[in-house]
Amino acid sequence: MAARKAPAPKPRKTPVQSRSKATVDAIFQATIQVLLVQGSSRLTTIRVAERAGVSVGTLYQYYPNKQALLGAVLEWHLLRVVSTVEEAARSAHHAPLAAMVKAVVDAYVAAKMHDVREAQALYRVAGELDAVPLIRAISQRGHVAVTAMLETAPDATFDDVGLCAYMFVAAMAGPSRAMLEGGASPAMFAMLAPQLESLCLGYLQREAARPT
Amino acid sequence: MAARKAPAPKPRKTPVQSRSKATVDAIFQATIQVLLVQGSSRLTTIRVAERAGVSVGTLYQYYPNKQALLGAVLEWHLLRVVSTVEEAARSAHHAPLAAMVKAVVDAYVAAKMHDVREAQALYRVAGELDAVPLIRAISQRGHVAVTAMLETAPDATFDDVGLCAYMFVAAMAGPSRAMLEGGASPAMFAMLAPQLESLCLGYLQREAARPT
Amino acid sequence: MAARKAPAPKPRKTPVQSRSKATVDAIFQATIQVLLVQGSSRLTTIRVAERAGVSVGTLYQYYPNKQALLGAVLEWHLLRVVSTVEEAARSAHHAPLAAMVKAVVDAYVAAKMHDVREAQALYRVAGELDAVPLIRAISQRGHVAVTAMLETAPDATFDDVGLCAYMFVAAMAGPSRAMLEGGASPAMFAMLAPQLESLCLGYLQREAARPT
Amino acid sequence: MAARKAPAPKPRKTPVQSRSKATVDAIFQATIQVLLVQGSSRLTTIRVAERAGVSVGTLYQYYPNKQALLGAVLEWHLLRVVSTVEEAARSAHHAPLAAMVKAVVDAYVAAKMHDVREAQALYRVAGELDAVPLIRAISQRGHVAVTAMLETAPDATFDDVGLCAYMFVAAMAGPSRAMLEGGASPAMFAMLAPQLESLCLGYLQREAARPT
DNA sequence: CATGAATGAGGTTTCATTCAT
DNA sequence: TATGAATGAAACCTCATTCAT
């Protein structure tokens, strides 16, 4: 499943003229729009170009192929989520464990839920790409930030901070995706953040309490 | 994403004859094989038929179209996972909370990790279908089983057992998928089950301790 | 110029049904027709399919891509020419040198001029293919046949029969192509065969007369 | 193949300024480079312009379209070859037949083999153009020069000098191309010139000896 | 004049589905 | 009933050419 896929190529041209800048932006936004409105199976280069108000040829001036385009959009999305988490983690340094968890969970939920369907759709297309390296690299940033934060907790010390940070971040994804994929009700969504806090805090407190 | 899709058609023929049964099985296995070996974008009806050792025509005798086939395969996979969880839950009735969690987590991890890549690939194609109702229905069975189990816990009572069961089941998926998608090391995989236990037990104990 | 090119793939399906046989034949003939009527730059798979009276899809059932199709047509043409030469050479064993030359030249000119424009067009497309191995292999057959013939000449012996055979065959191509490419008049074409005889016979007699 | 094609347009601007001259030269060289490095099917105007260090727009200032460019490059190449032959022919006036042949063959082989692959590639693109008139016109110059030379031969007279000159020049192309297209060994290439001499001299001597 | 972004027709190829055998 | 050849819409991508800057 990995061997078949070529590494996702990068944009082929850096926009030097201002006209270009507007065009790439339009293509970028159009990709997300088509993904949301039409679904991943109807996401074609022609439709993206049409929605962006440019011709297919123009699209291919900036992205050498469909994969490159999708890769760029996915990266942009992941970066947005991870930077939100990074910032939250940084702001919670030296806070009590419960406050740390609340800060990170709130940031994560806010970022993820902000564009609920966008996230959904992007995870779908990620499968067609060889997105593993990208996802891994960006996740790494989240783990590093959360690890650094946990190490400053005044009321908890961990045997394996890295592992705890990994589980912390990964745990948030489970119920989030479950609600997205299962089409949960607004009432359920309202409970997501507090429940995630409970989930992660319960875990971290257990791990902090463990005998070395 | 949902409005566009017609409800997934059902198999058009119930396998009453043993020959039919064998054919359907072959098609099932072939679908998964092609998905794993060639990837979702190369999953074509002709390739499935070839791998199953039948003709395309025959395939279309059993499934009116590609969606119906994928839906059936996905359902078959989900049922296998959920029934494992159901059985584990049933067998842990009246056990202490920690034992319950261990039973369910072990069953879940065993079932999920058994066909690691199969699960991955199927979730991918699930996006192309209108699989939400199916996923919701089958998840529901898992929640019901876990809810029933939790209600018999001798050492814990929950304010909202249904919600706790939901979070419990959903939480397991987060780190599991994270490891699959991120291509974790064997060492990491070895820690999955105990860590999931800690995660879920920490959560459930917190929730059980809460004041009503 | 060689490294860029993948080896021309072979037909992908052997026609087992009689309907298939007719289809491949039609596609084959259509390719030549389009090449002649429209020219090599207008030779598209769609046009070939249309002319063959089938759909593009059908064309691709028999040839995995355009190159494979062109390769097959080129091979067929070359085989026709070389087998004509082979037969002529075989029939002239033990004849006097002049008769040998006349036999081979006449056969060559007849085969080449038979489909003048076809030969032209095919040499053009050959450049887009990696046709070198094919051309070399088939030329080899011609050289072998002519070498064998020359060795039986009662009135001439050669220092290096292989080289002489090579030059003999290659020499015929020069004026032939010149007339084709230069668009010679019918009067010129009429002189081709006798002139080629003179050319080749002059050469071979010189080489036979040389001191070892 | 001829009726479809409009007469190849001429360059739209004569290089009077030195900057223009340099640009035209750069475009010429770039065309040949792209042809050799990327192949005729990847010979695009943008690639030529890039390699020449100018913009497409500039390229179109000098040549109204791609055909005009290719025509100009082909003409430039052919002129170089033919002028070599002309010079050799002129220098061999009044020499014995054997010396004439040697002079012309050596010049031809030197010119052709000098840019072996260039010649090959150009003949390929020539097919896409309506290059027949051009090729004929330039060949004509070669024939005229050789005819003039042959008429001064002190040791031979020909019934139809024009025809003999035509065959002489055309004959050289056969083995030359055969070696290029067949990818002959260096040993074979070393024998090309002497063998061509033998071929052409044999022919011319036969023709000179013929009874009127 | 030079530039290079934009165009869009057209080329190659794939694949779900049908239907004559 | 099973077969697999045939279909053709539709996907991806390229490239000669134009024209606003």
Average pLDDT over residues D120-126: 78
Per-residue pLDDT at D210:
76
Lowest-pLDDT range of C47-51, C125-129, D77-81: C125-129
Same structural domain for residues B32 and B108?
A: no
Nucleotides of E under 7 A from a protein CB: 1-20
DSSP string, B54-96: S-HHHHHHH-SSHHHHHHHHHHHHHHHHHHHHHHHHHHTTTS-
Domain end, chosen from C66, C96, C123, is at: C66
Q: Which of A63, D167, D67, A193 is nearest to C201 (CA)?
A: D167
CA distance B116 to D150: 84
Whether C180 and C169 have beta carbons less than 8 Å apart is answered as no
Query: Which domain, by its residues, includes A28?
Result: 18-64
Reported as a pLDDT band with limits 50, 70 and 90, residue D124 is: confident
Please tell me whether residues A125 and A53 are part of one structural domain. Answer: no
C204 shares a domain with C152: yes
* A9 within domain boundaries: no
**pLDDT the model gives residue B4:** 42
Structural domains of chain C, count: 2
Interface contact D197, partner C, CB < 8 A: no
CA-based torsion, C126, C128, C132, C134: positive or negative = negative
- Residue D3, pLDDT > 70, answer no
* Contact status of A171 with chain B (Cβ, < 8 Å): yes
- Calculate mean pLDDT across residues B30-47: 92
Shared domain check, B142 and B84: yes
Tell me the CA–C1' distance in angstroms for B183 and E12.
Answer: 36
Position D12 scores a pLDDT of 56
Q: Answer yes or no: do A53 and A106 share one domain.
A: no
Higher pLDDT, C119 or B75: B75
- Name which of C167, C169, C191 is nearest D195 (Cβ-Cβ): C167
Selected for mutation to probe chain B from A198, A204, A205 (highest B CB count within 10 Å) is: A198
* Subset of residues 33-62 in chain C with CB less than 7 angstroms from any atom in strand E: 42-46, 56-57, 60
Please report whether residue A203 resides in a domain.
yes
pLDDT at B191 over 50: yes
Higher pLDDT, C171 or D125: C171
Q: Is residue D165 part of a domain?
A: yes
Residue nearest to nucleotide F5 (CA to C1'): C20
* C window 97-126: Cβ near strand E (< 7 A): none
Distance CA B37, CA A1 (A): 7
* Whether A1 and B117 lie within 8 Å, measured CB to CB: yes
**pLDDT tier, B5 (very low <50, low <70, confident <90, very high otherwise):** very low
Å separating the CA of residue D111 from the C1' of nucleotide F8: 52
Q: What percent of chain D has pLDDT over 90?
A: 64
In this structure, the number of other CB atoms found within 10 A of the CB of residue C42 comes to 11
For residues C141-157, give the mean pLDDT: 96
What per-residue confidence (pLDDT) applies to B211? 65
**For A154, how many CA atoms within 13 A lie in the half-sphere containing its CB?**
6
From CA A35, how far away is CA A30, in angstroms rounded?
Answer: 8
pLDDT in tens, B92-129: 999 999 999 999 999 999 888 777 778 777 877 776 67
pLDDT surpassing 60 at residue D54: yes
Do C76 and C60 belong together in one domain?
A: no
Most confident of B156-160, C12-16, D6-10: B156-160
Sign of the alpha-carbon torsion through C12, C13, C14, C19:
negative
**Which domain-ending residue is among D64, D90, D123?**
D64
Q: How many alpha carbons fall within 13 Å on the CB side of residue B187?
A: 1
pLDDT over threshold 60, residue D2: no
Q: Which of C33, C66, C99 is the last residue of a domain?
A: C66
Alpha helices per DSSP H over D3-65: 18-38, 45-52, 56-62
**B176, part of any domain:** yes
CATH assignment of the domain containing B59: 1.10.10.60
Q: Is D183 an interface residue toward C (CB < 8 Å)?
A: yes
Please state the rounded mean pLDDT for residues D21-39.
91
What's the pLDDT score for residue D18?
62
From B15-29, B156-170, C171-185, D69-83, the region with the lowest mean pLDDT: B15-29
- pLDDT-derived band at A129, boundaries 50, 70, 90: confident
Judging contacts by C-beta atoms under 8 Å, the chain D residues touching residue C205 are 202, 206
What Å value separates CA D91 and C1' F5? 68
User: Which chain A positions have a beta carbon within 8 Å of B136's beta carbon?
Assistant: 182-183
Q: Using N-to-C axis directions, what is the helix angle for C97-114 and C186-209, rounded to 10°?
A: 150
Q: pTM for this one? A: 0.85
Structure tokens, A170: 């990964």
pLDDT tens digits for range A27-69: 999 999 999 899 888 999 999 999 999 999 999 999 999 999 9
Give the pLDDT mean for D127-133.
Answer: 78
- Do residues A34 and A110 both lie within one domain? no
Please report the pLDDT score of residue C177 as a whole number.
86
Q: Do residues C194 and C178 share a domain?
A: yes
* Predicted local distance difference test score (pLDDT) of residue A16: 53
Q: Per the domain annotation, does B155 fall within a domain? A: yes
* A76 and A48 fall within a common domain: no
Top pLDDT among D143 and C184 is at D143
Residue type, B155: D
| A107 confidence band (pLDDT: 50, 70, 90) | very high
Distance between alpha carbon B185 and the CA centroid of its chain, in Å?
Answer: 23
Q: CA B173 to CA B196: how far, in whole Å?
A: 9
Q: pLDDT band at residue A21, thresholds of 50, 70 and 90?
A: confident
pLDDT at residue number B79 = 92
Helix (H) or strand (E) holding B50: helix B45-52
Which residue on chain D is closest to C183 by alpha carbon?
D132
If pLDDT is split at 50, 70 and 90, which confidence band does D46 have?
A: very high
Q: Residues of D with CB below 8 A from C182's CB?
A: 132, 135-136, 139
Any strand E atom closer than 7 Å to D44 CB: no
Kindly state whether residues A93 and A121 are assigned to the same domain. yes
Lowest-pLDDT range of A142-146, B115-119, B167-171:
B115-119
C-beta of residue B149 within 8 angstroms of C-beta of residue B93:
yes
Residue D154: half-sphere exposure toward Cβ, Cα within 13 Å: 6
> Which of B22, B5, B144 is CA-nearest to residue B66?
B5
In a domain, A7, yes or no: no
The average confidence (pLDDT) of chain C is: 88
Which residues in B55-211 belong to E strands, given as ranges? none
CA-nearest of D174, D70, D161 to C181 is: D174
Separation CA C128–CA C43 (nearest Å): 12
Burial class (CB in 10 A: 0-12, 13-18, 19+), D30: buried
Given a cut of 50, whether residue B186 has pLDDT beyond it is yes
| Chains touching C, CB cut-off 8 Å, 3+ pairs | D
Q: How far apart are CA C1 and CA D196, in angstroms?
A: 27
- Among C39-53, C91-105, C118-132, the minimum mean pLDDT is found in C118-132
Q: How many residues does chain D have?
A: 212
Same domain, A121 and A83: yes
What is the C-alpha separation between B142 and C50, in angstroms, rounded?
57
Set of chain C residues whose Cβ sits within 8 Å of the Cβ of D203: 198-199, 202-203
In DSSP notation, A35-54 reads: HHHH-GGG--HHHHHHHHTS
> Residue C127 in 3-state DSSP?
coil
Least confident of A142-151, A179-188, D43-52: A179-188
Q: Is residue D127 part of a domain?
A: yes
pLDDT of residue D119: 79
Q: Is the CB of C9 under 7 A from strand E?
A: no
B202 vs A127, A183, A202: nearest CB: A202
Q: Tell whether C95 is covered by a domain.
A: yes
Q: Are residues D77 and D60 in the same domain?
A: no
